[in-house]
Structure 1
Amino acid sequence: MDQQLLAVGERIRSQMPPGLSQRRLAGLVDMTPDALSRALNGQRGFSSIELASLADSLGVDIYWLITGRADPLRVDVAARHFWDPVQAQRVNPGREADDKILEKVVAVYRDAYPDGPSVSPDLPAEPGAVRSRLGRDFVRRFAEQIEAAFAIDVLRIPELSTDYSLRIGGRSVILLTSTPNWFRNNWSVAHELGHLVLGHHAGRGVEKANEQPADEFAAALLLPEDRVREINWSHIDGTELAKFVWDAGVSTEALRNRLRKLRLKPHADASAALEQPTQHLLRRHLTTLRGYGAGVDAVVEREAESTGRMFPIRLIADLSHRVRSGQADPAALAWVLNVPVDEIDFPEPDDEAASREYEELLAARPSAAAWNDKLRLSHGNAAPW
């Protein structure tokens, strides 16, 4: 009796929900009850079609079903949605174009780490614990602090229409679009971190429903209730308000919404100031804030940092090594560095035989269609590209 087949059978049994009989499961996957029983008991093997049907019916990953291990190349994604007041629902109109960029990102990770990237550790469950790990004034270098504290990669790609978080194997990745509104990027990092903390990449068909919990996590992380309640909102002036926005790294809109949620009512002048765009509020008080560390140079610096293209140095280094050794596509590195591919230094064969071997190596790389068959993106619903 094959012990590996028995192990597959045990994993299948472990995922059968109460009330689902073997006879019923056999019908769902187009097997006879006898064939399923013998396979579960290690007396016959499963076909690839049967395993795929079982994984789909039980809602589990086929790689895990076969090996008992998490798929190091599995991909799940959650996206930030915008509220459309006309449709009265959250929308992501740029998703189709963004998917092409997400495919490139996944291809980069697969080229750099063919056996899967290193695993990000488990995250603290509470916003307060996350704040504690990130340290004081973390919003100033939010992306760097996220990477250092939690081994989460943060990428910034100008072509994206909105922000995303991915799980590539066991690695957590946050993708940001580029914008000079650094406070928007701060909120997006916190929002996507919320998706990761709350396990939204494992859900199915609930992507839009996950948006509010992720926003609530972001609010509690960036604007913790105790800190907000410390402020005397009935007497705060414009300069103090600007200082608070600067320190918290949030927009006037985010602060306005948080105050409303906590039922805190600022006085009329403060309420009027909170209706201003964030940059207007800060620039209006630059003179008084200059000695506080929020002068014009600091504002411009935050804006500049928020617009640049960004990939983790470690990822670039590992991908470069594989390109130089002829194991990865130089076009992937060219895209990451945003340079023409002919500027990438990669090995060129010395003779015709080596040239054929190198061409065969590149030709043997899985096609985009092959990767798409393996990718499982979740916007919450683990839908494949």
Structure 2
Amino acid sequence: MDAELKAVGDRIRSRLPLGMSQKRLAEKAGMTPDALSRALNGQRGFSSTELARLADELGADVYWMITGRDDPRKVEIAARHKWDPKHRRRDNPGRDVDEAVLGQVIAAYQAAFPSGPPASRALPKNPLALRELLGEAFVRDFSDEVENKLGVDIVRIAGLTTDYSLRIGSRSIIILATTPRWFRSNWSLAHELGHLALGHHDGLSSTDRKNEGPADSFAANLLLPSEEVSNENWDRKDEAGLARYLWFTGVSTQALRNRLAALQIKPAAAVEDALVHTTPRLIRAHAETEWMIGGEAAVSLREQQASTRLVPAVLVDALHREVEAGNASPELLAWALDVPVDEIEFPEPDDKALADARVSAIENRPSADDLANWLAVSESK
């Protein structure tokens, strides 16, 4: 018996669905029951075709089945879905529009980290535990705190119709649409952290729309913990107090209105009246009070930050190294820096091998079919 082959068999056996016999699994894989039994026990190897069929049937990854480790280059995507009141379902109608942007991000990571990007830290499934990791007043610099303390990359880019999170190997990446609505960006960031923390990218959990509810619940408990919300004196708060609360929690009037309703908290009439206003209008009306350091300029700064294109420094640094080594296209670095490719310094290829490597880096970007397959997971939500 070969120990390594036996380990492959053990991993496959661990994915056998409840109620499925080995005989049935053998049929699905195009194997005889005896051949499958011997392979599972390390007495023969699996062919690549057999492994592919088994992976499809078990919902497992071939790389993991063979090595016991996550594929460092595997891409899995989840999207924030909008509620469609007409059809009473969550939907991602802009998927086709977003494919080009997502493809560019994925191509940049794959070129920057040929062997797979470094792993992000494992996130706690409890939003309160994650809140503790981020530290007090994390909303003020939410994106920076997520990157620095969690090792989750934040990409902020124009042209997206919704927000996404993805895993490339063991690296967690959140891609946000640029928007002056900083409170929306905060909620999307918290929502996508929920997808990552709850394992909605592992390829094994349910990938239908029911993942959206848990991700929203995670975001609510991260930004508006029930105990802290309940401890506020809502029956005594006025409009100015509400504006202050929204500013420091980083949420919208709509998000707070929904949270109060979910917790069955009835606020003072002044708060109820104020909650019908848009968030920018309410906060700017009270921007010159003593608690708002910087006044309306502080509000504008948050709008600018949420509207500004952002590419993680770890990605830019890695692209610099690969471009300088002649392994990656300078076009990818130009995209990351948002400059014309003529401004990128890169070594001229001095032989055909280097030239071929550069051409290959461009040609091996994710195809439309690749993206369609990756995004099929998010569309099925």
TM class by smaller structure? over 0.9
Show CA shifts across 1:40-84 (max 9, x none): 344443222111001111111011112222111111111101112
Q: Does 1:218 align with 2:214?
A: no
CA RMSD of aligned residues (A): 2.2
- Deviates most, 35-44 or 274-283: 35-44
**Offset, 1:13:** 2.1
Distance verdict in 2 for CA 1:259–1:296, change over 3 Å:
same
In structure 1, the partner of 2:356 is 360
**Offset, 1:219:** 0.9
SS state at 1:83 partner: strand
Structure 2: which amino acid aligns with 1:283? R
In structure 1, the partner of 2:163 is 163
In structure 2, the partner of 1:139 is 139
Equivalent pairs, count: 378
In structure 2, the partner of 1:244 is 245
Structure 2: which amino acid aligns with 1:87? H
In structure 1, the partner of 2:87 is 87
Question: Are the aligned partners of 2:77 and 2:201 in contact in 1 as well (CA < 8 Å)?
Answer: yes
In structure 2, the partner of 1:315 is 315
**Offset, 1:370:** 7.4
Alignment of 1:292-311 (within 5 A): 292-293=292-293, 295-311=295-311
Q: Distance in 2 between matches of 1:233 and 1:123?
A: 32
Show CA shifts across 1:281-335 (max 9, x none): 011112325x532611100110001101101112101111111110111111111
In structure 1, the partner of 2:336 is 336
Q: Distance in 2 between matches of 1:281 and 1:153?
A: 32
In structure 2, the partner of 1:278 is 279
SS state at 1:286 partner: coil
Show CA shifts across 1:332-367 (max 9, x none): 1111122222221111134xxx1x222222344462
Q: Does 1:184 align with 2:184?
A: yes
SS state at 2:172 partner: strand
Show CA shifts across 1:126-179 (max 9, x none): 121111111111101001001111111111011111111111101111110000
Give the 4+ runs in structure 1 shifted more than 4 A: 369-376, 378-383
Show CA shifts across 1:1-35 (max 9, x none): 54433332232222223432222111111122233
SS state at 1:201 partner: coil
Structure 2: which amino acid aligns with 1:360? D
Q: Distance in 1 between matches of 2:263 and 2:31?
A: 56
Question: Are the aligned partners of 1:204 and 1:380 in contact in 2 as well (CA < 8 Å)?
Answer: no
Question: Are the aligned partners of 2:106 and 2:366 in contact in 1 as well (CA < 8 Å)?
Answer: no
Q: Distance in 2 between matches of 1:64 and 1:382?
A: 25
- Deviates most, 120-129 or 276-285: 120-129
Alignment of 1:57-96 (within 5 A): 57-96=57-96
Q: Distance in 2 between matches of 1:348 and 1:172?
A: 34
Q: Does 1:377 align with 2:374?
A: yes
Structure 2: which amino acid aligns with 1:160? L
- Deviates most, 216-225 or 374-383: 374-383
Unaligned segments of structure 2, at least 5 residues: none
- Taking only the aligned residue pairs, the percentage that are identical comes to 51
Unaligned segments of structure 1, at least 5 residues: none
TM-score, structure 1 normalization: 0.92
Question: Are the aligned partners of 1:75 and 1:376 in contact in 2 as well (CA < 8 Å)?
Answer: no
Structure 2: which amino acid aligns with 1:90? R
**Offset, 1:230:** 2.4
Show CA shifts across 1:213-267 (max 9, x none): 1111111111112221222222211111110000000001101111111111122
Structure 1: which amino acid aligns with 2:16? M
In structure 2, the partner of 1:259 is 260
